[in-house]
Structure 1
Amino acid sequence: MPSFAEMTKVFARVGLLGFGGPAGQIAMMHRALVEERRWLSEERFLHALNYCMLLPGPEAQQLATYAGWLLHGVRGGIVAGLLFVLPGLAVIIALSAAYALHQDASWLNGLFFGLKAAVLSIVLQAVVRLAAKTLKTPFLRAIAVLAFIALFVLALPFPLVVLGAGVAGYLRARRSGVEKTAAQTPAVDRPPLLQSLASLLFWVAVWQLPLLILWLLGGGGGLSSMFAFFSQMALVTFGGAYAVLAYVAQVAVAQYHWLKPGEMLDGLALAETTPGPLVLVLSFVGFMVGYRTVPGIDPVLGGILGSLLTAWATFVPSFIWIFAGAPYIERLRGNASLSAALSAITAAVVGVIANLALWFGLHVLFAEVRHLAFFGGEAAPGISWPLPASLNIAALALFAVSALLLLRLKVGMVKVLAMTAAAGLLLHLLGL
């Protein structure tokens, strides 16, 4: 078991280097916590990941919070979850301020070009290792393949795929006649029900405290309606940031007029170049709301306030889900039927990460990716397919070099990220 200082140092590094979306971030945590330091077993890490995949909100941040809670209780969960978000939040606030003052994000195009190529190698490594350790039966391999097809080809809703896998695993276990396994002793005692309810109410009150303060201060311009809106979004954001970006963009532009047309895409470009969860793009929206609507203070200070409030509304629920549910989820490790359901979810997660890795890889290596529908129409099921002529040779070369360094030569992850980031910046400055 690590000391609190050791744990803090590791999660600070994960927060600073957490590029590449949930696939890259989960891969980094698995490498740091399971493979390199062995603070968590493979089974316990996957058990936590399965639970986080079922929750609304950023699953990678929830996994960091869960891991911190396993290592050092509530204070460990708070520190791990905050360190996962705060570096990216600081960067997105700085970039949003620069954007609001200058209305230009083009200078960011090549800044993290090489970094993404290296993250793609880390994600590929995670998929291969996770598949080798979890897909040990034909049934689990079939679940992984079906989950990948359901997401990449049929574009089925993410929660439906994960829940379907869990139900399939549970029913198969029940049909096989498995019983509760006494050998798997729960590592965490279940807290009393009243204590759990009191803890839940406390965290909900903490979550909504800014709304009360804004109401007492007269609304803070458009900040109170913004905070209420993003609090609602935090409860329904299954499947990551992309699942809600289109809806948030529509509401922010057409209904509330917080953003101008096209600014949401600029905000997404800013979020893509920051560490941490991609849902930090919502803090860009919060910055613009504060920048434009808060009376009586400097616009940049209003923007910072709006960004912080958005982050509070978005990420505090993740702590609620973990601290309220994790003690009960840990006890499920002693139930064979439910463990079988979670094993099936683990197999589906392999398909999910493979889907994320392929999507991420297509957009890193190709300048143009099209959607090929089976039955016609933009909303029809289909697959993403790159235009071969748009292959970025520089991105392919950086990916190949980083894969060689990581997978074959076993060079440290931080060194590889630093080298590829420097190479990508140099290529951009040379106009290549």
Structure 2
Amino acid sequence: MNEIGEGPVQPSGHGVSFGEALRVWSRVAALSFGGPAGQIAVMHRIVVDEKRWIGESRFLHALNYCMLLPGPEAQQLAVYIGWLMHRTPGGLVAGLLFILPGFLSILALSYVYVIFGDASVVEGLFFGLKAAVLAVVVQAVFRIGSRALVNPAMIAIAAAAFLAIFALRVPFPLIVLLAAIVGYLGAKSGSRFFRTAGGHAAAKGAVLQDRDSLLGEDTPAHARPQLGWSLKISAVLLALWLGPVALIWFFAGSDSVFTEIGAFFSKMAVVTFGGAYAALAYVAQEAVQNYGWLKPGEMLDGLGMAETTPGPLIMVLQFVGFLGAWRDPGSLDPMVAATLAAVLTTWVTFVPCFLWIFLGAPFIERLRGHAALSGAMAAITAAVVGVILNLAVWFAVHTLFAEVTVLAAGPLRIELPVVATVVMPSALLAAAAAFALFRLKASVLLTLGLAALAGIGWRLLSG
């Protein structure tokens, strides 16, 4: 099999066959529970510690690049490492396998949701999941914040990002762009507040570990920048990404729900930086308030599905598209329309992920050890903490209170809960889930499972 501008897959200098890689990526996909942190940890344990395909510093360098991109960093990291090991086919297999289990799981749960969503058991299950997901998002704020907010500059960037999105509704791309510029210039100026952590000893150890990996420190021939190949693969992936959207618009018209879904989630693929938690705040605003595809509580239901199934959390977008077409199927059967919308949403969400990696990874490999790029990444990560904090506040307002009021003054627009409408069962479940996660150190999967059972019990007892 030949690739665009790359030549045959074999032979490879590292000695890992394509068949073995296929088995390893299938294993990674099957174990990809627990959100991006858990998925990245599983990938690190298997690829770096167990298989020794690549070393520590190379893994972190690839992760840093993926965190700079819009979309799910864990899935993009799998594409990056698969491409590094076995060229374009390796990246395609690693990325597709990472998506497939979650897509099938959420599609099945979506069917259950629309068919049995009014039944007490299913209603109780998602009632419990909503409260637990709130605790999971809060935990994500602390987990990422503890690593990213290491000095006053990073804390200031996170606070500014939170205020910008929470009170001023500043678009995500602008927040990320400003943070990247600040971090880049700060690192380039030599400011100690923008240096990456780790120190000389840790960096030396990482380099030694890279030398001990199967790939070594050398850059494979296919991983070196080739402008011609980059332009060809980009043209193919752009056509695969935007071609179906253009065809749907041509045949169905601009008012079709499929055209709206294709265009909206294609835009999301470009502007949603910082992973699923950061993306969901914007998706919730648009899909709930502007398009009317689903309700705020249903967004939390979808996130609960994504949290309890393998694959990227951004798969929740598939659930959003599913409900949008189910409620507005046009001349199609609602289930057929919803299934097609789920496929379309997944397609336009993940095809760009392959584009970002195949286009940019060769140039990023060349920039390993670039201090200014690391400073930009650190600042973006700090800004993402503020974005996720905004998501946690939004979830809390819509989960724990039955009514919300909007305070508007000039450019300010803040959603405030009506305190008298607090939903005590949700508050108690969220508090119990937070206690399990923070105090008892319970796993996310166990916490969500117990919360779902508690929600079912409460619904059955309350009638």
Question: What TM-score do the two structures reach when normalised by structure 2?
Answer: 0.69
User: For residue 279 of structure 1, what is the aligned residue in structure 2?
Assistant: 317
2:321–2:341 contact (8 Å) kept in structure 1:
no
Equivalent-residue separation in structure 1 for 2:382 and 2:334 (angstroms)? 48
Q: Any idea what SS the aligned residue of 1:111 has?
A: helix
User: For residue 183 of structure 2, what is the aligned residue in structure 1?
Assistant: 169
Shift of 1:44: 4.6
User: For residue 363 of structure 1, what is the aligned residue in structure 2?
Assistant: 398
User: For residue 430 of structure 1, what is the aligned residue in structure 2?
Assistant: 461
Shift of 1:3: 6.7
Alpha carbons of 1:404 and 1:49: their partners in 2 closer, same or farther (altered >3 Å)? farther
The CA deviation string for residues 30-69 of structure 1, in whole angstroms up to 9 with x for no partner, is: 56556999877895586145323xx3xxx3xx32321222
Shift of 1:164: 0.6
Equivalent-residue separation in structure 2 for 1:395 and 1:177 (angstroms)? 45
Percentage identity across paired residues of the two chains: 34
User: For residue 234 of structure 2, what is the aligned residue in structure 1?
Assistant: 200
1:135–1:347 contact (8 Å) kept in structure 2:
yes
1:126-205 to 2 correspondences below 5 Å: 126-176=140-190, 189-205=223-239
User: For residue 76 of structure 1, what is the aligned residue in structure 2?
Assistant: 94
Alpha carbons of 1:158 and 1:251: their partners in 2 closer, same or farther (altered >3 Å)? closer
The CA deviation string for residues 199-255 of structure 1, in whole angstroms up to 9 with x for no partner, is: 22222333356569879xx95x67996555544334422343564677678997xxx
Alpha carbons of 1:247 and 1:352: their partners in 2 closer, same or farther (altered >3 Å)? closer
Q: Any idea what SS the aligned residue of 1:429 has?
A: helix
Alpha carbons of 1:383 and 1:93: their partners in 2 closer, same or farther (altered >3 Å)? same
Shift of 1:76: 1.1
CA RMSD of aligned residues (A): 4.2
Letter in 2 for 1:78: L
Alpha carbons of 1:124 and 1:336: their partners in 2 closer, same or farther (altered >3 Å)? same
User: For residue 105 of structure 2, what is the aligned residue in structure 1?
Assistant: 87
Q: Any idea what SS the aligned residue of 2:267 has?
A: coil
1:25-44 to 2 correspondences below 5 Å: 25-29=35-39, 43-44=60-61
User: For residue 47 of structure 1, what is the aligned residue in structure 2?
Assistant: 64
Equivalent-residue separation in structure 2 for 1:77 and 1:109 (angstroms)? 33
Shift of 1:381: 1.4
Q: Any idea what SS the aligned residue of 2:140 has?
A: helix
Q: Any idea what SS the aligned residue of 2:68 has?
A: helix
Shift of 1:86: 3.7
Alpha carbons of 1:196 and 1:236: their partners in 2 closer, same or farther (altered >3 Å)? same
* Structure 1 unaligned spans of 5+: 18-24, 253-261
The CA deviation string for residues 133-168 of structure 1, in whole angstroms up to 9 with x for no partner, is: 222222111111111111112221111111111111
Q: What is the aligned counterpart of 1:350 among 371, 382, 385?
A: 385
Letter in 2 for 1:324: L
Equivalent-residue separation in structure 2 for 1:210 and 1:246 (angstroms)? 26
The CA deviation string for residues 278-304 of structure 1, in whole angstroms up to 9 with x for no partner, is: 432123333455x4324xxx6644553
Equivalent-residue separation in structure 2 for 1:250 and 1:120 (angstroms)? 20
Shift of 1:79: 1.5
Equivalent-residue separation in structure 1 for 2:136 and 2:365 (angstroms)? 28
Q: Any idea what SS the aligned residue of 1:371 has?
A: strand
1:87-106 to 2 correspondences below 5 Å: 87-93=105-111, 95-96=113-114, 98=115
Alpha carbons of 1:422 and 1:250: their partners in 2 closer, same or farther (altered >3 Å)? closer
Equivalent-residue separation in structure 2 for 1:334 and 1:93 (angstroms)? 47
User: For residue 401 of structure 1, what is the aligned residue in structure 2?
Assistant: 432
* Structure 2 unaligned spans of 5+: 1-15, 50-55, 84-90, 208-216, 273-278, 307-312
Q: What is the aligned counterpart of 2:408 among 373, 384, 390?
A: 373
Equivalent-residue separation in structure 1 for 2:413 and 2:290 (angstroms)? 27
1:372–1:383 contact (8 Å) kept in structure 2:
yes
Alpha carbons of 1:352 and 1:210: their partners in 2 closer, same or farther (altered >3 Å)? closer
User: For residue 330 of structure 2, what is the aligned residue in structure 1?
Assistant: 292
Q: Any idea what SS the aligned residue of 1:430 has?
A: helix
The CA deviation string for residues 243-285 of structure 1, in whole angstroms up to 9 with x for no partner, is: 4677678997xxxxxxxxx665497587466424343212333
Equivalent-residue separation in structure 1 for 2:358 and 2:255 (angstroms)? 27
1:127–1:354 contact (8 Å) kept in structure 2:
yes
Q: Any idea what SS the aligned residue of 1:155 has?
A: coil
User: For residue 76 of structure 2, what is the aligned residue in structure 1?
Assistant: 66
Letter in 1 for 2:377: L
Alpha carbons of 1:310 and 1:148: their partners in 2 closer, same or farther (altered >3 Å)? closer
Q: Any idea what SS the aligned residue of 2:354 has?
A: helix
| Equivalenced residues, count | 392
Equivalent-residue separation in structure 2 for 1:35 and 1:124 (angstroms)? 25
Higher mean Cα deviation, 201-210 or 380-389? 201-210
Shift of 1:311: 3.6
Q: Any idea what SS the aligned residue of 2:189 has?
A: helix
Q: What is the aligned counterpart of 2:136 among 122, 125, 142?
A: 122
Alpha carbons of 1:312 and 1:3: their partners in 2 closer, same or farther (altered >3 Å)? closer
Letter in 1 for 2:450: M
1:230–1:310 contact (8 Å) kept in structure 2:
yes
User: For residue 447 of structure 2, what is the aligned residue in structure 1?
Assistant: 416
The CA deviation string for residues 308-333 of structure 1, in whole angstroms up to 9 with x for no partner, is: 33443444333323333344345444
Q: Any idea what SS the aligned residue of 2:170 has?
A: coil
Shift of 1:417: 1.6
Higher mean Cα deviation, 323-332 or 383-392? 323-332
